[in-house]
Amino acid sequence: MIMKDLSIFFQPATFTEEENVANNWSLHHQVLLHTEHDFPQMDKKGVAIFNVPEERGMAKVSQATLSGQTSSWVSFFLNLYPGMNWQNQIYFLGDLSPGATLQDTYFALTEVTSELIKNNITPIVVGAGQDLTYAMYKAYAGLEQLVNLSAMDAKLDFGDVEAPIKDNNWLSKIVLDKPCYLFNFSNIGAQSHFIPPKEILLFDELFFDITRLGRLSNELHLAEPVLRNTDLLSCDLDVLRCADWQGG
């Protein structure tokens, strides 16, 4: 299948080269990068990584999530090494250009995600807020594919159904989407003291799966079957304990 030209949606990300870039084994020399002069030719099965510096869907913007942080994580990532058994191509597409409105950004993210999926390329999106999960879900819906959606999150993010979409109510927008292509939803890492009781009751009625953090801490293997069956995984970095979260 011939892929559409996705370069119109992206700008090359800026990053500082670290010491390992001189090592031919580092990811810097393994990843096909979007530069000022070239956009990756994605003609092989693999993984496409890109950043979405869109903060208008966030209920609360913290300094750790600002798009200016892109350079630091990209530099760190490219300084790593691939696994010994890694066989697939990695593409780094840079920054998805935010649209004039939040809905324009969602549209662009949906288009890019859909095109990558159709060409057997797994998208990995680094974004500001989890509301971007909704746009990625719409890519599967556009392809008429049922979705097993999972989230690593201390909260359930069902929020106010009537309010405009934000990163604290994005899941309700997916559940109420018509036609709905959500086959199942699973939460990993929920903490009851952050979740209104009515949301827990609603999840029980919808037969959604919740694996609470307390149980997961003692039985980590419970996450394996959930992740194995997941089509789309959304991660909230707030699920990390403070000692391990260096961006805050």
Q: What angle do CA 206, 138, 134 make, to 5 degrees?
A: 65
pLDDT at 118: 96
The answer to whether the CB of 213 falls within 8 A of the CB of 190 is yes
Q: How far apart are CA 109 and CA 128, in angstroms?
A: 13
* pTM listed for this prediction: 0.90
pLDDT at 50: 95
pLDDT at 243: 53
Q: What are phi and psi of 50, to 5 degrees?
A: -155, 160
Q: What are phi and psi of 66, to 5 degrees?
A: -65, 150
Over residues 149-200, the pLDDT tens digits come to 999 999 999 999 999 999 999 999 999 999 999 999 999 999 999 999 999 9
Rg of the chain taking only CA atoms, in angstroms: 18
Question: Tens place of pLDDT for every residue, the chain, 248 residues?
Answer: 678 999 999 999 777 665 545 567 888 888 999 999 999 999 999 999 999 999 999 987 654 554 455 667 888 888 888 888 888 999 999 999 999 999 999 999 999 999 999 999 999 999 889 999 999 999 999 999 999 999 999 999 999 999 999 999 999 999 999 999 999 999 999 999 999 999 999 999 999 999 999 999 899 999 999 999 999 999 998 777 655 555 54
Q: How far apart are CA 67 and CA 81, in angstroms?
A: 25
Closest CA to 55 of 9, 110, 13, 95: 95
pLDDT at 74: 87
pLDDT at 61: 66
The answer to whether the CB of 132 falls within 8 A of the CB of 96 is no
pLDDT at 248: 44
pLDDT at 191: 93
> What are the distances in angstroms from CA 90 to CA 33, 153, 155, 233?
9, 27, 31, 19
Name the DSSP class of 188.
Answer: E
Q: E strand or H helix at 109, and its extent?
A: helix 102-118
pLDDT at 9: 97
Closest CA to 126 of 50, 233, 59: 50
pLDDT at 82: 87
Q: What are phi and psi of 233, to 5 degrees?
A: -115, 130
Over residues 88-104, the pLDDT tens digits come to 999 999 999 999 999 99
